[in-house]
Chain A
Amino acid sequence: MARTETCGHNGGVDPARKRKLRFVIALSCALLLASALIYTSFSASSEARTPSQLAAAAKPGRVYELTGKVQPGSISSRGTTHRFRVRDREGHVSIPVSYTGALPDPFRDGREIVVDVRKRGATFVGERDTLVTKCPSKFTAEKKT
């Protein structure tokens, strides 16, 4: 009896019901994927922190996205390991960073950088290939007044 109710005149499933079913399945898939996307983005993200925030409260082992300026005169290199200090964009608090690997071309004193770091002892160790130095002249200058 139930079978008769769900079938159309040609013996197949009612087209309207079929469409509704497809829509519900598609919507469920989309919702599932969107939930996964949202969950993983929050769990896999690294929090952006300034040097003063990290100097005040950084948990060892946790990855942070450090944003600041390279303190002039602080860069030293030994082999492929580079040590420098990063200070707040506005302010004077700075923290020591150790980074192993190739430095981006625009990297130098005073440049704005973003790098993923983990606290290890008193130093913040940069994650490989995460150091980004901002291109200094491309569409960046705030209008001089």
Chain B
Amino acid sequence: MLSLGSGCLVLALGVALYGIAASLYGARGRAGAGSRAWVDSGRRAVYATAGVVLVAFGVLEAAFLRSDFALSVVADHSSTTTPTFYRATAVWSSQEGSLLLWVVLLGLWSSLMLFLTRRRAREVAPYATAVLLGFAVFFLSLLVFLENPFDRAQTVVAEGAGLNPLLRHPSMMIHPPMLYSGYTLFAVPFAFAVGALITRRLDAEWIRLTRPFTLAAWFFLGCGILLGARWSYTELGWGGYWAWDPVENASLMPWLIGTAFLHSVMIQEKRGMLKIWNVSLVLATGVLAILGTFLVRSGILNSIHAFGASTLGVPFLILIGAMIAGSVALVLSRASDLRSDARLDSLLSREAVFLLNNLVLVGLCFVIFWGTFFPLISEAVTGNEASVGPPWFDRYIVPLSLILVLLSGIGPVVAWRRATAANLRRNLARPGAVGVLALVVLLLAGVSGSVGALLMFALAAFVFAAVGQELWRGVRARRAMSSDSVPRALVSLVQRNRRRYGGYLVHVGVAVLFAGVAASSAFQDARDVQLQVGQSAKVGGYDLTYVRPTSKLEAASNGRLEKIDLGAVMRVSRGGKQVGTLRTERSFFPSADPTLGPVSRFFEGEATSEVGLRAGLRRDVWSAISPSVRDLRKQVAEGDRVFNGAKALPPVQRDIALAEALSGLTRSYTVNPPAATFRLIVSPLVSWIWIGALIVFAGGLIALWPPLRRAPRPVAARYAARVARELGRA
């Protein structure tokens, strides 16, 4: 089976190389009437590559599920005690497995795109096919020559190292496929942009064809980023959801540029403007997607995700260099074909707002890029490696985010081409008043301390009002044409223009999300305290009391001990009244280090936090415990001594005795609990970050959903007259 996996990778590499040659040969038309057949053959090579790498992935997946430790990648990233779900998903916790997942997803998305466009974009598609297969060749070469997942272990171990406990979280297991789907989907518009530039077919056709894939890339990458943030908040034991870590930033940069493209592309579709800008954004998104992969793989920057040296840095740098050089050369050589069909009529127009929105999004990306790569820039300029921290990022990101939210409220209500002052007054007066009113109410309610947060709340209210006003006008217009109820008219309105109203919902979600971020950043109360049982700490108006310690041993499905949990039950009170209970614990996973004693290895391995969280719409009460195991050291050392002297015991009896000894240890912890260290946080409106993100993705799904295919109905003249009257009143 393992030979089958290796063979599949080599075969896929060969097929992909053939596909590139066939596509380019067919595209150049040297084969005359047979050119089409070569192009078709190149496209089928993409399907074949996808199929073959999928088989390889299946073989690797089976090896993980079987705990086949003959494969070094399985022995290093899984174990028999790893639960089945995590064994299945541990494939992409390894370098090799994640690269294979990348190429599998690339193959699947490329196949879908090329299948859907097999009878369209006949000139552009062969070059796009060659570019997509070029990416496949790059990743397959890494897998075949540098990071082969089917490398056999030098010695077959009886038990693997297990999946890193920090990754044992459902969202962490779904997070990588989401991110990779985003990255690989962004390769599709990149490839078609290259094809359009090569063939000089620079009308909006390639944009229309790839738009669903760009939107899907934006959707999946956004979901991946959200899952990562959620994992950080609930699993990492520090209480935050974003740390400006290079790897986090790497996923945010292509998402921001993708967002800019999704806006500016509308201007090209409607007015034939910004062609050079749009093609540059798509090419930049493709480069940034590869850059994100490079940052995780290479370990070039200090990050919680990537630290050690890697052999992949140089190949990735060569690929990125080639992508940038090729993109710049193509855009410069096609500059004359990329001239806009029209010019900006007025700064008071939707085009201008979109352009400003684009500049802000690109500005955000540039700030993040600069901050992320500053250690390398600093070393190159001064000879000293230096880095910037979250306060530096906040200094630029906060004002830019405020402008972005403001624009997301203005954009939907400004007319295309040229808006008059009267039109602006009529459309912005109510939302503006709502924003000002929100600010006044907050100030009167005594909310103060952060100007940025207050402005963000007011702007969020402005966006709700602006989008609400647009929806209401649309519903009124629909009701003028039919006798539908308001909800039915709303559904019908959205169905008829999913892209527009899905986009508006995204704006609402963004405003909600930013309001949550502003509140939780500006008004958070966090404390690190040491408590004995019965002691309390006051945080954010709550009293948190350490009620009692908890402990338990957890066994895997095969009966082997998987981890020891030591924790606490905490009472949450407000104004002397109990409002809830928190349960937090720290899980200790055994170390695979053979030099450690049988008992001490359970306290010297990885440890993870299980957060105690009381989430609410108004605020979250969050706790994480660091139990002190210092008092158990003596008993642990005694246990090691006893079990080292009992090696003659049969393994089953030894395991039973060990479980009893560990059970005694944990009992001892609960009977005489030492003081434990807690991180306690009360953070307002955190839930609105997740709710806002869900609204964003719901809006994205609505925009992504294919439009209804129904025959257009002629609108009766009297209905048209009523619509005009209603709109005139609005």
List chain A positions with a Cβ less than 8 A from chain B: 15, 19, 22, 26, 33-34, 37-38, 40-42, 44-48, 65, 67, 77, 79-80, 100-106, 108, 112, 114, 116, 129-130, 132-143
Asked whether any CB of chain A lies closer than 8 Å to the CB of B305, the reply is yes
Apart from A102-B237, A137-B77, what are 14 other A-B pairs with CB-CB below 8 Å? A33-B363, A41-B378, A48-B384, A77-B628, A102-B238, A104-B236, A105-B606, A136-B164, A137-B76, A138-B93, A138-B164, A138-B306, A139-B299, A141-B95
| CB interface residues, B 70-127, toward A, < 8 Å | 76-77, 93-95, 98
Q: How far is the CA of A142 from the CA of B302 in the complex (A)?
A: 15
B98 close to A139 (CB less than 8 A)? yes
Asked whether any CB of chain A lies closer than 8 Å to the CB of B43, the reply is no
Asked whether any CB of chain A lies closer than 8 Å to the CB of B705, the reply is no
Q: How far is the CA of A35 from the CA of B468 in the complex (A)?
A: 40
B166, B243, B347, B366: the one within 8 Å of A105 (CB): B166
B119 to chain A, nearest CB (A): 41
B387 close to A106 (CB less than 8 A)? no
Q: How far is the CA of A132 from the CA of B305 in the complex (A)?
A: 11
From A38, which residue of chain B is reached at the shortest CB distance? B370
B590 to chain A, nearest CB (A): 14
Asked whether any CB of chain A lies closer than 8 Å to the CB of B374, the reply is yes
A133 to chain B, nearest CB (A): 8
B307 close to A135 (CB less than 8 A)? yes
| With A67-B302, A102-B679 as contacts: A45 and B387 at CB distance below 8 Å | yes
From A137, which residue of chain B is reached at the shortest CB distance? B164
| CB interface residues, B 390-414, toward A, < 8 Å | 391-392, 395-396
A138 close to B392 (CB less than 8 A)? no
Asked whether any CB of chain A lies closer than 8 Å to the CB of B371, the reply is yes
Q: Which residues of B contact A137 (CB under 8 A)?
A: 76-77, 93, 161, 164
Q: How far is the CA of A80 from the CA of B606 in the complex (A)?
A: 20
Q: How far is the CA of A66 from the CA of B675 in the complex (A)?
A: 30
A46 close to B387 (CB less than 8 A)? yes
Q: How far is the CA of A139 from the CA of B392 in the complex (A)?
A: 28
B76, B304, B347: the one within 8 Å of A135 (CB): B304
Q: How far is the CA of A117 from the CA of B347 in the complex (A)?
A: 49
Which of B308-316, B683-691, B719-727 faces chain A?
Answer: B308-316
B344 to chain A, nearest CB (A): 8
| With A45-B378, A139-B305 as contacts: A106 and B388 at CB distance below 8 Å | no
Asked whether any CB of chain A lies closer than 8 Å to the CB of B528, the reply is yes
A80 close to B609 (CB less than 8 A)? no
From B678, which residue of chain A is reached at the shortest CB distance? A102
Asked whether any CB of chain A lies closer than 8 Å to the CB of B203, the reply is no
Q: Which residues of A contact B307 (CB under 8 A)?
A: 112, 134-135, 140
B704 to chain A, nearest CB (A): 31
B297 close to A80 (CB less than 8 A)? no
Number of interface residues of B (CB under 8 A): 68
Asked whether any CB of chain A lies closer than 8 Å to the CB of B174, the reply is no
| CB interface residues, B 410-465, toward A, < 8 Å | none
B299 close to A140 (CB less than 8 A)? yes
B304 close to A41 (CB less than 8 A)? no
A48 close to B387 (CB less than 8 A)? yes
30 A-B pairs with CB atoms under 8 Å apart are A37-B370, A40-B392, A41-B370, A41-B378, A41-B388, A44-B389, A44-B392, A47-B385, A48-B386, A65-B386, A77-B630, A79-B530, A79-B677, A101-B528, A102-B624, A102-B679, A104-B238, A105-B607, A105-B608, A106-B606, A106-B607, A132-B245, A132-B302, A134-B303, A135-B164, A137-B76, A137-B77, A138-B164, A138-B306, A143-B146
Binary interface profile of B, 534-575, with partner A (CB < 8 Å = 1, else 0)? 000000000000000000000000000000000000000000
Q: Which residues of B contact A129 (CB under 8 A)?
A: 238
Q: How far is the CA of A48 from the CA of B630 in the complex (A)?
A: 33
A37, A105, A142: the one within 8 Å of B396 (CB): A37
A103 close to B374 (CB less than 8 A)? no
| With A134-B304, A138-B306, A142-B311 as contacts: A47 and B370 at CB distance below 8 Å | no
B236 close to A138 (CB less than 8 A)? no
B528 close to A80 (CB less than 8 A)? yes
Q: Which residues of B contact A22 (CB under 8 A)?
A: 347
B94, B296, B303, B677: the one within 8 Å of A102 (CB): B677
| With A45-B374, A102-B679, A140-B299 as contacts: A116 and B389 at CB distance below 8 Å | yes
Q: How far is the CA of A29 from the CA of B443 in the complex (A)?
A: 33
Asked whether any CB of chain A lies closer than 8 Å to the CB of B367, the reply is yes
Q: How far is the CA of A15 from the CA of B347 in the complex (A)?
A: 13
Q: How far is the CA of A101 from the CA of B391 in the complex (A)?
A: 19
Q: How far is the CA of A112 from the CA of B303 in the complex (A)?
A: 11
